[in-house]
Amino acid sequence: MKYLCLIYDNEKEFETMPRDRVEKMMGEYRAFGDGIKKSGHYVGGAQLHPTHTATIVRSRNGKVSTTDGPFAETKEQLGGYYLIEAKDLNDAIQVAARIPSAKSGSIEVRPLVEANA
């Protein structure tokens, strides 16, 4: 069963974090990534550029509109994701809880709809 773990964290805090703390966090992420690769959970994952680089696209009646956004007014923003293979939700939660940002932000765990074989 595949789960998408969406990592929500305060990007403003991350942007103003002192260098040594950023490096510590990066180290934690590397260790976490190595860990879930070894355990066979890892399918994919990436960090996202901050929300001010985002674009909202809408298509209505054949007309495409693009705007900036989403607005980063909410406390936590989507900053990255992991796609994992887990036995069940409990297993996925175990993995998600070890994502370094779980300590400061929150992780949304969503099961993927499996295509019928």
Partner 1 sequence: MQDETAAHVRDTVDAIYRSDSRRVLATLIRLLGDFDLAEEALHDAFATAVELWTEKGIPVSPRAWLISTGRFKAIDRLRKSARFETADVSALERLEVTETPDLEEDDVEDDRLRLIFTCCHPTLSPDAQIALTLREVCGLTTEEVAHAFLTPPPTLAQRIVRAKSKIRDARIPYEIPSRSDLPARLDSVLHVIYLVFNEGYLASSGASLTRADLSGEAIRLGRLLVELMPEPEAMGLLALMLLHESRRSSRATPAGEMILLEDQDRSQWDRAQIEEGVDLVERALASHRFGPYTLQAAIAAVHAEASNARATDWPQIVGLYDVLLRTDPSPVIELNRAAAIAMRDGPESGLALIDAILVRGDLTDYHLAHAARGDLCRRIGRTVEAIAAYERALELATQEPERRFIGRRLDELRLTSPR
59 binds partner 1 (CB under 8 A): no
54 binds partner 1 (CB under 8 A): yes
Name the minimum Å distance from CB 17 to partner 1.
17
Cα gap 89→45, rounded to integer Å: 18
Query: Coil, helix or strand for 116?
Result: coil
52 binds partner 1 (CB under 8 A): yes
83 binds partner 1 (CB under 8 A): no
Cα gap 32→117, rounded to integer Å: 32
Q: Which residues, 6+ apart, have CB-to-CB distance to 87 below 8 Å?
A: 1
Q: Which is nearer to partner 1, 33 or 70 (CB)?
A: 70
Q: Which is nearer to partner 1, 42 or 81 (CB)?
A: 81
- Check if the beta carbon of residue 51 is closer than 8 Å to that of residue 12: no
Q: Which residues, 6+ apart, have CB-to-CB distance to 31 below 8 Å?
A: none
Q: Which is nearer to partner 1, 67 or 74 (CB)?
A: 67
12 binds partner 1 (CB under 8 A): no
67 binds partner 1 (CB under 8 A): yes
Residues that bind partner 1 (CB under 8 A): 49-50, 52-55, 65-68
